């Protein structure tokens, strides 16, 4: 293993923003990661775990250590008549893994096609889209304790999954190394999300490949390709508010959409709030809001991290002033 110094983080993140990091190490095997942690004390060292870099915004030089786990491999570990458990290394590209599952007709994560990032980030963020979350398919998660090098398998219940949340996000203690997914060999399409429901009016003989292609087409029509325009996908979480508050707001804004998440809770699309506040398509210098999807903040080429951050703060304040709703960032700001 080799530690590189003063590395530009730009090629390793989807926002495409240049900032130097003091130290950078890439580790390709679990044993290599454990050996590294046993020789490098992280208790007093500023450090960061980097997956696909699709959820990070660097706003200044990082005077610490960036660890990039590149643990690869996909294998089927158990199989029954109706189900299969597939293990994927944390370094695998998430969409490559989804394609592998779709090609093998393993149902469960096809709605999560084209989400950027790595397999290792999936349980950390509990990624989700089009009516499905990673937790719906995750069987267990293997992780290494970054402070003492011990390895542990977290059963699903131990992961403390929530909306874009998990135990791996709540604490700095664990580095995800492998993720086990329990998937169905029997067709089980999840088409409750409106854009998919509109495309598949006939639910008979819906093919898993068709769902994947539909999701890809929808995402490509709404979201910019990070290879062409720097972005981190959804910058904000969709806020969840009391149903009483939603009813009060809907009296003033009759077209306000919602998704019921509980008997007394409603999830409001953050994109709708931002759009109604007048930010969709906004641009200042090299930083802006995507013209087709208000939830996406973009780097037109030469934006600084702090410019993206200041834009996000302005949007947060605007939405708070107009609706009384607090937006929470999904993107992690590295400072």
Neighbours of 173 (CB within 10 A): 15
What's the angle, vertex CA 178, arms to CA 209 and CA 185, rounded to 5? Answer: 35
Structure tokens at 105: 């007709």
Cβ neighbors of 31 (< 8 A, separation 6 or more) are none
- Helix, strand, or coil here: 94? helix
The pLDDT value given to residue 222: 87
Asked if 133 is an active-site residue, the reply is no
Catalytic residue, candidates 19, 92, 133, 330: 330
Neighbours of 89 (CB within 10 A): 24
Chain centroid, CA 178 distance in Å: 17
Asked if 221 is an active-site residue, the reply is no
- Helix, strand, or coil here: 290? coil
Neighbours of 217 (CB within 10 A): 14
- Among the listed residues 239, 36, 265, 254, the one whose alpha carbon sits nearest the alpha carbon of residue 148: 36
CA distance 118 to 70: 9
Let me know: does 121 contact 175? Beta carbons within 8 Å.
no
DSSP 316: H
Please report the DSSP string for 193-241 in residue order. SHHHHHH-S--TT--HHHHHHHHHHHHHHHS--TTTSEEEEE-BPPPEE
Catalytic residue, candidates 140, 146, 164, 212: 164
CA distance 225 to 115: 11
Let me know: does 309 contact 19? Beta carbons within 8 Å.
no
CA distance 98 to 93: 9
> Residues 252-306: pLDDT tens digits?
999 999 888 888 999 999 999 999 999 999 999 999 999 999 999 999 999 999 9
Structure tokens at 51: 């997956």
**Cα→Cα distances 262→242, 258, 259, 267, 328, Å:** 9, 12, 9, 9, 20
CA distance 265 to 246: 9
Please report the DSSP string for 44-85 in residue order. SS-EEE-SSSTTEEE-S-EEEEEEEE----EEEEEE-SSEEE
Asked if 146 is an active-site residue, the reply is no
pLDDT tens digit at each of 335 positions of the chain = 789 999 999 999 999 999 999 999 999 999 999 999 988 878 778 999 999 999 999 999 999 999 999 999 999 999 999 999 999 999 999 999 999 999 999 999 999 999 999 999 999 999 999 999 999 999 999 999 999 899 999 999 999 999 999 999 999 899 999 999 999 999 999 998 888 988 888 777 899 999 999 999 999 998 999 999 999 999 999 999 999 999 999 999 999 998 888 889 999 999 999 999 999 999 999 999 999 999 999 999 999 999 999 999 999 999 999 999 999 999 999 98
The pLDDT value given to residue 65: 95
**Domains, the chain, with CATH or none:** 4-69 (3.30.43.10), 74-222 (3.30.465.10), 230-334 (3.90.78.10)
- Among the listed residues 78, 110, 66, the one whose alpha carbon sits nearest the alpha carbon of residue 209: 110
CA distance 134 to 1: 31
Catalytic residue, candidates 68, 166, 234, 312: 234
The pLDDT value given to residue 172: 86
């Amino acid at each position: 293993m080799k530690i590189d110094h003063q590395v530009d983080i730009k090629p390793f993140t989807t926002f495409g923003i240049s900032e130097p990091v003091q130290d950078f190490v890439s580790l390709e095997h679990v044993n290599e990661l454990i050996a590294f942690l046993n020789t490098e004390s992280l208790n007093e060292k500023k450090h960061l775990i980097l997956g696909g870099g699709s959820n990070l915004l660097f706003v200044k030089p990082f005077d610490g250590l960036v660890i990039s786990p590149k643990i690869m491999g996909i294998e089927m570990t158990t199989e029954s008549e109706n189900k299969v458990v597939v293990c994927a290394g944390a370094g695998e590209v998430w969409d490559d893994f989804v394609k592998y599952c779709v090609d093998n007709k393993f149902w469960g994560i096809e709605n999560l096609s084209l989400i950027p990032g790595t397999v290792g980030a999936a349980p950390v963020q509990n990624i989700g889209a089009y009516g499905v979350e990673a937790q719906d398919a995750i069987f267990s998660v293997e992780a290494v304790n970054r402070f003492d090098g011990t390895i542990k398998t977290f059963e699903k219940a131990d992961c403390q999954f929530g909306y874009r949340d998990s135990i791996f996000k709540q604490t700095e203690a664990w580095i995800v190394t492998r993720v086990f997914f329990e998937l169905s060999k029997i067709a089980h399409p999840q088409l409750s999300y409106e854009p998919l429901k509109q495309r598949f009016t006939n639910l008979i003989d819906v093919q898993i490949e068709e769902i994947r292609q539909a999701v890809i087409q929808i995402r490509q029509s709404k979201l910019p390709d990070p290879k062409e325009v720097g972005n981190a996908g959804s910058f904000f979480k969709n806020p969840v508010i009391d149903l009483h508050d939603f009813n009060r707001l809907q009296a003033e804004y009759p077209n306000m959409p919602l998704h019921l998440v509980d008997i007394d809770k409603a999830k409001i699309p953050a994109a709708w709030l931002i759009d109604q506040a007048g930010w969709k398509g906004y641009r200042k210098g090299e930083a802006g809001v995507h013209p087709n999807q208000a939830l996406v903040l973009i780097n037109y080429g030469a934006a600084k991290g702090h410019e993206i951050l200041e834009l996000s703060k302005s949007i947060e304040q605007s939405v708070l002033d107009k609706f009384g709703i607090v937006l929470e960032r999904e993107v992690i700001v590295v400072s």
